[in-house]
Structure 1
Amino acid sequence: MSRQVVRSSKFRHVFGQAAKADHCYDDIRISQMTWDSNFCSVNPKFVAMIVEASGGGAFMVLPLNKTGRIDMSYPTVCGHTGPVLDIEFCPHNDNIIASGSEDCSVMIWEIPDSGLISPLTEPVVKLEGHSKRVGILSWHPTAHNVLMSAACDNVVILWNVARGQAAVRIDDLHSDLIYSACWNRDGSKILTSCKDKMLRVLDPRKGTVLAEKEKPHEGSRPVRAVWVSDRMILTTGFSRMSERQVALWDLEDFGSPLTLQELDTSSGVLLPFFDPDTGVVYLCGKGDSSIRYFEVTEEAPYVHYLSMYSSKESQKGMGYMTKRGLEVNKCEIARFYKLHERKCEPIVMTVPRKSDLFQEDLYPDTIGPEPSAEADDWFGGKDAPPLLISLKDGFVTTTKAKEFKVHKSLLKTTVASAGSTHVDGGAGDVSALRRELSAMKASLEELRNRVSSLENKH
């Protein structure tokens, strides 16, 4: 009689637990839009959620500790003229967030440290270049102020946010709607999945295809794809019989998947969240009430089912906390922010361990908030690996100087995008702004005089 050998893994007993009621964010009217983005973005300071808004689009940004019932009159970020479809915090500055909307624009916002006290209607930068609604945003993981957007015009744009301009426009590769677009670990490649049934690996600066795979999944419903390593890609999609699937691909042998597993017959698109530090991938289906998680390894069968977190209520969206926002003294390896119809509920994934000591095997050095390249250098061809930090003593937020620098470079943008030339930082910015202001005042005065003289004539 053969005994089945159970694979040993330190993540076999990972369990998910919903936060207590007083640690949830209540009375928030989550957006009713039928768009397959996360609808939520979180970092160690804030949680942001796309909400219902009359006349235009809005999202709410709350300090993490502002739990409980949120007042109906709580201020929102509401500068878009159409519904907001995607939001994402900048990985290099916790106060900066980007939003993409049905109004075809991308906007960059700066959130005050203590949160909003009045509605925020003026973005720091407005990026215009798409002709249809913008549904996908992704900041570059290592280069400062580089943002990727993908829209329903089947175009991918890479923005130099510090200059307020489109630096690369990839508009002839995708013949249909782009379902997902993401960077690899150092941001030297982009991975896209498209309604034309193609999976593409792109050189972001040249806009050329490095590798492609037709029909990673046979079904016609949306495919999602994420990098697992520089060589491996994980996809979620549907079979011809509409069963949900997860597959793993080797870029060096793109012919057939390393593994393909069928999961169930639900209709919600599976949003994959991969943690490179632990090798665990979490699959959250839109409209599901569960989160499945798997461990991805280098040897067959490659994708190992670990467990499933289940609850009664279905999720309308999901935020995924960056590693530096976790409580390492509680062996927390992931935290999700699950959106219900009227609330946001944190869900904590924990490895059960008795010791209170720092568990080095669970927390290898992870990506920190410091960028390893500036936008101009990256667009000029420089790739740089992410700068790693230790979580041994917990994460301490970065100094004010760093944030001020980012703030200044973003301020620089408004001057740069107002004129055609790029203005360098420092006193020049202020004097240029003053000159611009006085010129505007003079022309306004001139207009007033003309109006009053015309009125006098009549």
Structure 2
Amino acid sequence: MSRKVVRASKFRHVFGQGVKADQCYDDIRISQMTWDSNFCSVNPKFVAMIVDASGGGAFLVLPLNKTGRIDMSQPTVCGHTGPVLDIEFCPHNDNIIASGSEDCSVMIWEIPEGGLVTPLNDPVVKLEGHSKRVGILSWHPTAHNVLMSAGCDNVVILWNVACGEAMVRIDSVHPDLIYSACWNRDGSQILTSCKDKTIRVLDPRKGTVIAEKEKTHEGSRPVKAVFVSDGKILSTGFSRMSERQVALWDPKSFGEPLTLQELDTSSGVLLPFFDPDTGIVYLCGKGDSSIRYFEVTDEAPYVHYLSMYSSKESQKGMGYMPKRGLEVNKCEIARFYKLHERKCEPIVMTVPRKSDLFQEDLYPDTMGPEPSVEANEWFEGKEGQPILISLKDGFATTTKTKEFKVHKSLLKTTSAAMGHQHDNTGEVHALQKEVKTLKETVEELTKRVSELESKN
């Protein structure tokens, strides 16, 4: 008699739970677009969702606590002329969000404290450089103001958002549609998956291929790939018989997968979310009504099935809360924001523990909101390691976010104002405000410099 040994893991009993009805966001017309992105982005302040919009593209940004029925007249972010395909909050400033659209542009928006009171039409910056729709966005994890976008023109662009410029254009690597693009933990590498069934690890600043693996999944449906611990790569895709698969790869020896598991025969693309603190990867299928989760370890079979959260209704998209937005006193290790047809429902993942004291083993120091390197330094070659924070005393609300400054807007307003002397008072006010802000910034910097000098 061989007795199956159950692997010991503190995450074996993680369970998912939907919140009560009054903690959902109701009466929202979630976008009907058939595009395989998350359609939702969240942080400790806001939840954003792509919604249906007549003539153009829009998304809704709500303060986290604004639950219940959302009024039809709730203002949206609506500056795109085509449907919005992807949105992502900036990891270093909770009020900044990027959106990519069918209108070929990427826009950066600043959400006022407390949320929108009127519709937001004017982005802080508009990034133009793609010739087809832009369906993938990803902020650099450690460099301030660096954004990656990938479009249906098979091009990846790295932007310096502060000056609105495309710094790196990777346009000869992908022969076909890009299905996913993401950074590793310190942003020193990019991982893409492409319709040619190849996943590639790229050097972001040179735009060159470091390693690649052809035919990661034999099927022709989209492949998604993310970096997991120790530089390994987890991919989701389909077999030739259209079965959904999850595989783990070591890019140092890309030959055979470390493990490849077949899951089921559903047709929805699996969106992977990896948590480096716990080593858990959550797979959320578009159109599924479940979230499966696995623990990734360095012992065979490497990807260990933990459990599955199931519900009655299928998901149109999924937002994933950063660690610093979780309730640590409730042993919450992940929170998802599941989009239904007409609402958004938070799903909480918890490790059952009897004690309500801070559980050190569940919450190692995690990625904080502070960037470790500025955009121009990073493009010049400086690496930025993640700046970690402790969650022991709860963190979400006490952080001072990095101020978002764009150098371009000043130039635009100035030249416009000079161009027509009889310009309206609005522009003059805007200019005065800009100058005031600049003065304050200079004063603050001077103060900091003198403080530092007096220390030395």
- Tell me the TM-score normalized by structure 2: 0.91
One-letter amino acid matched to 1:353 = R
Task: Spell out, residue by residue over 1:7-44, the C-alpha distance to the aligned partner (whole angstroms, 9 max, x if none).
Answer: 00000000000010000000000000000000000000
Question: Helix, strand or coil for the counterpart of 1:442?
Answer: coil
Matches within 5 A, 1:205-216: 205-216=205-216
Q: Which residue of 2 aligns with 1:198?
A: 198
Q: CA shift at 1:350, angstroms?
A: 0.2
- Equivalent-residue separation in structure 2 for 1:257 and 1:131 (angstroms): 35
The answer (yes or no) to whether the contact 1:84–1:99 under 8 Å persists in 2 is yes
Number of aligned residue pairs: 424
Question: Comparing 53-62 with 436-445, which one deviates more in the overlay?
Answer: 436-445
**Contiguous gaps of at least 5 residues in structure 1:** 419-432, 446-458
Q: Which residue of 2 aligns with 1:31?
A: 31
One-letter amino acid matched to 1:186 = D
Question: Helix, strand or coil for the counterpart of 1:65?
Answer: coil
Matches within 5 A, 1:135-214: 135-214=135-214
- Equivalent-residue separation in structure 2 for 1:340 and 1:13 (angstroms): 26
Q: Which residue of 1 aligns with 2:420?
A: 441
Q: CA shift at 1:265, angstroms?
A: 0.2
Q: Which residue of 1 aligns with 2:101?
A: 101
Change (3 A) 1:378 1:78: same
Q: Which residue of 2 aligns with 1:422?
A: none
Q: CA shift at 1:444, angstroms?
A: 6.2
Question: Helix, strand or coil for the counterpart of 1:61?
Answer: strand
The answer (yes or no) to whether the contact 1:41–1:319 under 8 Å persists in 2 is yes
The answer (yes or no) to whether the contact 1:29–1:341 under 8 Å persists in 2 is yes
Q: Which residue of 1 aligns with 2:437?
A: none
Q: CA shift at 1:384, angstroms?
A: 1.4
User: Is 1:236 equivalent to 2:236 in the alignment?
Assistant: yes
- Equivalent-residue separation in structure 1 for 2:270 and 2:211 (angstroms): 23
Q: CA shift at 1:246, angstroms?
A: 0.2
Identity of aligned residues (%): 83
Question: Helix, strand or coil for the counterpart of 2:229?
Answer: coil
Task: Spell out, residue by residue over 1:226-280, the C-alpha distance to the aligned partner (whole angstroms, 9 max, x if none).
Answer: 0002420000000000000000001111000000000000000000000000000
- Equivalent-residue separation in structure 2 for 1:177 and 1:76 (angstroms): 30
Q: Which residue of 2 aligns with 1:117?
A: 117
One-letter amino acid matched to 1:441 = H
The answer (yes or no) to whether the contact 2:142–2:186 under 8 Å persists in 1 is yes
- Equivalent-residue separation in structure 1 for 2:11 and 2:163 (angstroms): 44
Q: Which residue of 2 aligns with 1:414?
A: 409
The answer (yes or no) to whether the contact 1:367–1:388 under 8 Å persists in 2 is yes
Q: Which residue of 1 aligns with 2:384?
A: 384
Change (3 A) 1:438 1:4: closer
Matches within 5 A, 1:36-435: 36-397=36-397, 402-403=401-402, 405-406=403-404, 409-410=405-406, 412-415=407-410, 418=412, 433=413, 435=414
The answer (yes or no) to whether the contact 1:142–1:372 under 8 Å persists in 2 is yes
- Equivalent-residue separation in structure 1 for 2:277 and 2:420 (angstroms): 55
Question: Helix, strand or coil for the counterpart of 2:378?
Answer: helix
Question: Helix, strand or coil for the counterpart of 2:377?
Answer: helix
Question: Helix, strand or coil for the counterpart of 2:98?
Answer: strand
- Equivalent-residue separation in structure 2 for 1:243 and 1:33 (angstroms): 24
The answer (yes or no) to whether the contact 2:180–2:193 under 8 Å persists in 1 is yes
Task: Spell out, residue by residue over 1:163-206, the C-alpha distance to the aligned partner (whole angstroms, 9 max, x if none).
Answer: 11100000000000000000000000000000011110000000
- Equivalent-residue separation in structure 2 for 1:399 and 1:319 (angstroms): 21
RMSD: 1.2
- Equivalent-residue separation in structure 2 for 1:224 and 1:437 (angstroms): 44
The answer (yes or no) to whether the contact 1:185–1:230 under 8 Å persists in 2 is no
